[in-house]
């Protein structure tokens, strides 16, 4: 097959031109970065696991009516997605204090928040993805008030659904990051969930022991990084080693 044209290479993924207009191929790499690429490394097998985990979560979300860019998985490392105009925001949802929230505000890591918090960061590596308020977003035209209303509504639904889904397999969804894009269909514009949902952009802790099963294992040099990602896939019942016949679905925890 002819090599596809590469459109963009990010830290963990590459985007290629898709087979039909309006589609792209999203390739998942094993590369990992943290602290705005100041720390770099490779997590063997991460791309395969994230491709599978993201496919699973996006599919479950589509089933409850969340519009996403995901079309289908093509192979171990690639998925077909709809080409969208990415809104330059990282939308972070927090259910439990951790990471930058704990550091900035001195809230003990692990403290459950009285209600979920949504934060926005402006996607700009040169500026270190600064946190921004709704006023900045609308003032500089990154998204309209209507876009933000849609983004908040979708984000809260995603959070409720994923919190329950992960809790069912014994995992606490501490926080995560979403990205959204604009999809044009005829004259209509729709905001859809884009990027990926995986242990690269979620904090996932074992509900009983608090053990981390996400990128913090890499960020904080905790070791067994790949094992953490694998455990998430195993609990969701989607370890890629298992063929489709062996996929028994989520392992429900008591």
Asked if residue 143 lies in contact with residue 87, where contact means CB atoms within 8 angstroms, the answer is yes
Q: Give the residue with the Cβ less far from ligand UDP, 18 or 178.
A: 178
The residue within the footprint of ligand UDP, chosen from 43, 61, 194, 202 (CB under 6 A), is 202
Using Cβ positions, the residue closest to ligand UDP within the complex turns out to be: 99
Please give the residues from 40 up to 79 whose contact with ligand UDP meets the rule CB under 6 A. none
Identity of the residue, 150 or 195, whose beta carbon is nearer to ligand UDP in the bound complex = 195
Q: Could you tell me the smallest distance in angstroms from the CB atom of residue 104 to ligand UDP?
A: 9
Residue 100 in the binding site for ligand UDP (CB under 6 A): yes
> In the structure encoding, which two tokens stand for residue 171, read together?
């995992």
Which tokens belong to 188?
Answer: 């209509």
- Least separation, in Å, of the C-beta of 56 and ligand UDP? 18
> Which of 52, 69, 82, 203 touches ligand UDP by CB under 6 A?
203
Q: Is 231 in the site for ligand UDP (CB under 6 A)?
A: no
Neighbours of 116 (CB within 10 A): 15
Number of Cβ within a 10 Å radius of residue 186: 5
Candidate ranges 44-52, 62-70, 151-159, 199-207; the one touching ligand UDP (CB under 6 A): 199-207
Q: What CA–CA distance (Å, rounded) separates 216 from 3?
A: 35
Q: Which is nearer to ligand UDP, 98 or 213 (CB)?
A: 98
The conformation of residue 20, written as its DSSP 8-state character, comes to: S
Q: Is 205 helix (H, G, I), strand (E, B) or coil?
A: strand
Residue of the chain from 129, 206, 211, 226 that contacts ligand UDP (CB under 6 A): 129
Q: What is the CA radius of gyration of the chain?
A: 18
Q: Are 164 and 177 in contact (CB under 8 A)?
A: no
CA angle 178, 179, 185 (to 5 degrees): 130
Shortest CA distance to 99 belongs to which of 61, 131, 125?
Answer: 131
Residues 168-187 that bind ligand UDP (CB under 6 A): 175-177
- Write down the least CB distance from residue 243 to ligand UDP, Å: 30
**Closer to ligand UDP at the Cβ: 92 or 169?**
92
User: Quick one: which segment of 40-48, 94-102, 149-157, 240-248 binds ligand UDP (CB under 6 A)?
Assistant: 94-102
Q: Which is nearer to ligand UDP, 14 or 92 (CB)?
A: 92
Q: What is the DSSP string of 174-203?
A: EEEEEEEEEEEETTEEEEEEES--STTTEE
| CA atoms of 29 and 60, how far apart (whole Å) | 23
Residues at the interface with ligand UDP (CB under 6 A): 90, 92, 98-101, 129, 175-177, 201-203, 215
């Amino acid at each position: 097959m002819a090599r596809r044209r590469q459109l963009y290479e990010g830290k963990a993924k590459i985007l290629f031109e898709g087979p039909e207009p309006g589609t792209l191929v999203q390739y998942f790499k094993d590369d990992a970065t943290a602290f705005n690429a100041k720390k770099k490394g490779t997590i063997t097998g991460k791309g395969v696991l994230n491709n599978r985990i993201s496919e699973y979560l996006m599919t479950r979300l589509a089933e409850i009516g969340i519009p996403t860019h995901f079309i289908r998985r093509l192979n171990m490392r690639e998925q077909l997605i709809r080409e969208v105009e990415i809104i330059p925001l990282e939308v972070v949802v927090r259910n439990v204090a951790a990471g930058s929230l704990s550091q900035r505000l001195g809230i003990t890591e692990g403290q459950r928040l009285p209600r979920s918090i949504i934060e926005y960061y402006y996607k700009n590596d040169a500026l270190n993805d600064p946190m921004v308020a709704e006023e900045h977003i609308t003032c500089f035209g990154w998204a309209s008030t209507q876009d933000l209303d849609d983004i908040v509504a979708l984000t809260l639904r995603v959070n409720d659904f994923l919190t329950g889904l992960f809790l069912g397999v014994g995992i606490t969804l501490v926080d995560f990051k979403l990205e959204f894009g604009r999809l044009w269909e005829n004259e209509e514009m729709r905001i859809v969930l884009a990027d990926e949902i995986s242990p690269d952009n979620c904090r996932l802790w074992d509900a009983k022991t608090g053990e981390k099963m996400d990128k913090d294992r890499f960020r904080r040099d905790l070791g067994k990084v790949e094992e953490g990602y694998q455990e998430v896939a195993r609990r969701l019942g989607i370890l890629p080693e298992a063929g489709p016949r062996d996929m028994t679905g989520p392992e429900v925890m008591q």
